[in-house]
Structure 1
Amino acid sequence: MATDAQTKAPPNKETFHFINEPTEAINDALTGLTYLKPDLSYYREYKVVYRNDLPEFSKDHVTTIGFAGGGHGTVFASPTAAQIFEAIKMCQPPSGKSRGTLVVCGNYTGDILNAGLAITRAQAAGYKVHFTPVGDDVAVGRKKGGKVGRRGLSGHLVALKSACALAQRGENLERVAEVMEYVAGNVGTIAVAFDRVALPNANITGLQTLPSATIELGMGAHGEPGLQQISPIPSLEPLISQMLNLLLDISDQDRAFIPFSKSANPSDDNEVVLLLNSLGSTSNEVLARMAELANAELERRGFKIRRLTLGPLVTSLKMSGFGITIWRLPPDSGETMCRKEALGQWDEPVDVVAWRQ
């Protein structure tokens, strides 16, 4: 007599990604990146993508190491200390002089712990390194964040753009790091999504989903819980207004992270850079409409957008959502830098795959 195990058909699996083998997803993606951008190379053993001219470039320029996504380790896993240390050694070869290295990541515990171990080891060995973790998520308030602080979202990209512009111009590590820290302290991000991300494990086992007709405001890049679930789903106008409230309201002592002088109609710090970021599957057409609405709402509150960019810049696989990042530009009179300098760094040409000038 046949047993139940013999007669039952195996359960169906529903795939969520076009991949070959889940365990090779990172290697496949980063190898493919070098075909798309032939002046990049991939160090498979340590999962490091680097510019082909790194040994020569590092002699006269500060180098930067960034990690904040699926490109390190396995998907959503922190890079190991060995991986980070190897990247530092690649940026500062022993055979030549070095201007030092800026290491940047989003504010996540595993990333920071492993980076700290690697940097301690590197500094003990004589390497010159500065480390800046960036936490820009205003959904995580001061009470909830505690000593850990806010999560990292797309705000680190804004700060890194400025820092890399200075590195490209030949500035020293101290100045590059100073600007990195300053911009990171003037950036905030809030995200919203329809669902938590599906990992490329070829099936839906263990995938947590939101209820139907529900979005989560403040969801983290790895599917961490947000500030609140909203149902029914609001139209874009009130949703974007609510998101901007979280970014701009300096009276909210728990979340007033961007140091605007006033929440509306500030006098000399009313100019901003706006970034609309797709978390994976939100189209450019939808982002463009959101940018239009955000621009109108910011102007109504007395702010002026000096620069705008949008697209899939800091993604979370196929997460169906988007984020708004605002960078408070310095006053004309200047702080760590003046407004003209800040905009010049933003406008510095770059030659990377995802960035749109």
Structure 2
Amino acid sequence: MKKLINAPETVLAESLSGFAAAHADLVVLGEENKFVRRLNPTPGKVALISGGGSGHEPLHAGFVGLGMLDAACPGQVFTSPTPDQMLAAAAAVDQGAGTLYIVKNYEGDVMNFEMAAEMAEGAVATVVTDDDVAVETSTWSTGRRGVAGTLVVEKVVGAAAETGADLAALQALGREVNARTRSMGVALTSCTVPAAGSPTFQLGDDEMEMGVGIHGEPGRRRVKLMAADAIADEMVSAITADFGADAGGPALLLVNGFGGTPAMELYLMYHAARARLEKAGFRIERSLVGNYVTSLEMAGCSLTVTRLTDDIARGWDAPVHTAALRWGV
């Protein structure tokens, strides 16, 4: 295992310290590293909190700031944060208008956020993201997995929260964005969890995992390596098929790298995916390409398509200033 670390047991603490110091104009690291919060919360707004296992950076801490999250709770690598982290984060960013938890559909995340919601003193609501079309159930999830579409939910709901929307409206919006979003990923290599010291799974030099999850969970099938156009064909076909009769119309396309894929290849995949989506009747009106919801150093990418409404497009375009996303400010 070759990694820029000191020891597996200190990876998260040292990384969080570096992140908070590098972005001290935006965020503050909570006591005992339980959460990362906005430096300057907006008075009177609903607090948005997300979180999950580390190893997916910049998700979620990289999306804390103006126009997105108020706090993020980092668990150990690929391990859910605990309810006490979520409660501490809520106490730190609560502005009196309630708290919305945005939770990826993994059993540990859902269970712990539910426990935190039950123990919370103020008003709490939850949005669960489950945009992955690859498989209905997998390791750590019951039903669809929550993957890169979580970024879209956090961005659009975060914009609405900045306008003063109330808790019920934000929950409804988050559920709508999630329902209009589909994702699918492909892995060319595995990743290595520092504490494990060996790859999560094995792929031959001429193999890839179609439909892989962001923790290295199995996908739809293991296949021989294909050209980018063929990979895009299969991923876009799966996404459009899952939309069914709703496929087509204005859309956002996110091509997300898993941490080990060069930008050149991600833009090539964007080119291939966009052409196929347009052939299927989509009009790509918003785009994002880069490493945003990663899986440590895994090579591969995911495609995310969100069917836009005017409100969702406005939320996407609204100003944002976080460590990982910035526009309009």
TM-score (norm 1): 0.82
Q: Of 208, 213, 216, which aligns to 2:206?
A: 213
Distance 2:310 2:79 in 1: 39
1:21 aligns with 2:7: yes
Q: Which runs of 5+ in 2 are unaligned?
A: 55-72
What residue number does 2:28 align with? 41
Runs of 4+, deviation exceeding 4 Å: none
Query: Cα deviations across residues 231-260 of structure 1 (Å, max 9, x unaligned)?
Result: 1x11011110110010001xxxxxx2x364
Q: 1:46 touches 1:86 (CA, 8 Å); kept in 2?
A: no
Query: Which residue of 304, 308, 317 corresponds with 1:325?
Result: 304
Preserved contact between residue 64 and residue 103 of structure 1 (Cα < 8 Å): yes
Q: CA deviation at 1:283?
A: 1.5
Distance 1:284 1:44, change over 3 A: farther
Name the residue aligned to 2:53: 69
Structure 2 partner of 1:235: 227
CA contact (8 A) 2:52 2:79 kept: no
Assess, with a 3 A threshold, how the Cα gap between structure 1 residues 234 and 102 changes in structure 2: closer, same or farther.
Answer: same
2:104: which partner in 1?
A: 106
Give aligned pairs, total.
Answer: 307
Aligned-pair CA distance for 1:109: 0.3
Contact 2:212 2:219 (8 Å CA) reproduced = yes
Paired with 1:139 and 1:285, the residues of 2 have a C-alpha distance of 25
Q: 1:167 to 1:260 in 2, by over 3 A?
A: farther
Q: Write the distance in 2 (CA, Å) between the matches of 1:306 and 1:169.
A: 23
Task: Give the AA of the match of 1:120.
Answer: E
Contact (CA 8 Å) 1:42, 1:50: kept in 2 or not? yes
Question: Greater strand percent: which structure?
Answer: 2
Deviations 1:155-197, CA, capped at 9 Å, x for gaps: 1111111100001111111111111010001101100001222
Distance (Å, rounded) in 2 between the aligned partners of 1:109 and 1:186: 22
Identity of aligned residues (%): 31
Distance in 1 (alpha carbons) for counterparts of 2:262 and 2:53: 20
Counting only pairs closer than 5 Å after superposition, residues 237-276 of structure 1 correspond to structure 2 as 237-249=229-241, 256=242, 258=243, 260-261=245-246, 263=247, 266=248, 270-276=249-255
Cα distance in 1 for residues equivalent to 2:128 and 2:83: 15
Greater Rg over alpha carbons, structure: 1
User: How many angstroms apart in 2 are the aligned matches of 1:341 and 1:115?
Assistant: 28
**Which residue number in structure 2 is paired with residue 138 of structure 1?**
133
**2:319 is the alignment partner of 1:349:** yes
Cα-to-partner distance string for 1:288-310 (whole Å, 9 max, x where unaligned): 11111111112222211000101
Change (3 A) 1:345 1:201: same
| Aligned residue number for residue 298 of structure 1 | 277
The answer (yes or no) to whether the contact 2:134–2:184 under 8 Å persists in 1 is yes
Q: Structure 1 residues 260 and 46 mapped into 2: Cα distance closer, same or farther (>3 Å)? A: farther
Report the secondary structure of 2:20's partner residue: helix
